[in-house]
Amino acid sequence: MSAGDLNAMAARTATTQTSEIRIAHSPDSDDAFMFYALATGKLRVPGIKFTHVLSDIETLNQAAQEEKYDVTAVSVYAYPFLADKYILLDCGASFGEGYGPIVVSSRAMKKSELKGCKVAIPGTRTTSYLVLKLFEAGVETVTMPFDKILDAVSAKEVEAGLLIHEGQLLYAAAGLHRVVDLGLWWQEQTGLPLPLGANAIRRSLSTDVARQVARAIRESVGYALDHREEALNYALQFARDMDPALADKFVGMYVNRWTLNFGEEGRKAVDELISRAKAAGLMPASARVEFLREDASSDS
């Protein structure tokens, strides 16, 4: 779909008053890739001005407690704690299919050795933390910014580190050893992809505005996938000096068919993750997940 087609579609929903919608997401290349069309004006929605805010995922999880942003990236683990304030969108998610957050150490280490180890994590409401605790409940964790974990492991400040974002592709070059790929472990345990992050929208927004925003995000993802080279060139500025080939690989890992639409299997994966979190005592039994109904005939 061309930019002209997208704008023609958006014009049909034009309004006479402009509203600002603040969209918060992580400052990494995959999020930049999926929001390329909206951030650069390739896609415009008459009546809505999109303002983009960049912050790490744990900060966004915490900010969502205060409803700081209209639309925000959140960890799937964090969402049930925010369900009274936000509703999930069925697009813009990050799934790992046979791969995901990686636990690394400065020495060769067996998986069984993780029990009792001090592991650096990017936040206690991140999905990576949840899956780590599902894998080995006996780890001792210390929270630090996600982009500091590689250095902390290399300096042996911690025994191991939990890597998200591009760190999953950079640890070997830093001389570190993989202990376990939690996305692969999850797939072996469940046969499902691992739902890591998602987009949520404030319940206080009108249904019409929420649906309009959801359509815009889905079309932005679609535009990036259809215009991969230009979207990737834009995303490279957020790749933290990563080699373009590695950045391309990373974007391909986390902007995929699940990003356009969770689908039945994606929603099943979310349900399985929440069920296991409840069973492990890592989430209240009353926790729930709700998706925005984008039209009157869609499933909730």
**pLDDT tens digits, 158-178:** 999 999 988 888 899 889 999
Taking the CA of residue 41 as centre, how many other CA atoms within 13 Å lie in the half-sphere pointing to its CB?
Answer: 0
Q: How far apart are CA 103 and CA 59, in angstroms?
A: 21
* Predicted confidence (pLDDT) per residue in 26-68, tens digit: 888 999 999 999 999 999 998 999 999 999 999 999 999 999 9
Tell how strand 94-96 and strand 160-163 pair up: unpaired
131 pLDDT more than 80 = yes
165 is catalytic: yes
Sign of CA dihedral 243, 247, 249, 253: positive
Superfamily in which the 102-190 domain is placed by CATH? Periplasmic binding protein-like II (3.40.190.10)
- Strand order of the β-sheet with 102-105 is 140-143, 118-121, 160-163, 102-105, 177-181
Q: Which amino acid is at 246?
A: L
Q: Do domains 3-95+194-279 and 102-190 have the same CATH topology?
A: yes
Report how far residue 248's alpha carbon sits from residue 63's, in angstroms, rounded to the nearest whole number: 30
Arithmetic mean of pLDDT, 262-278: 96
- Taking the domains of the chain in order of start, what are their residue ranges? 3-95+194-279, 102-190
Cα(127)–Cα(282) distance, integer angstroms: 11
Find the catalytic residue in 52, 165, 177, 227.
Answer: 165
* Architecture field, domain 3-95+194-279: 3-Layer(aba) Sandwich (3.40)
pTM assigned to the model: 0.89
What is the C-alpha separation between 277 and 42, in angstroms, rounded?
A: 40
Separation of alpha carbons 121 and 130, rounded Å: 10
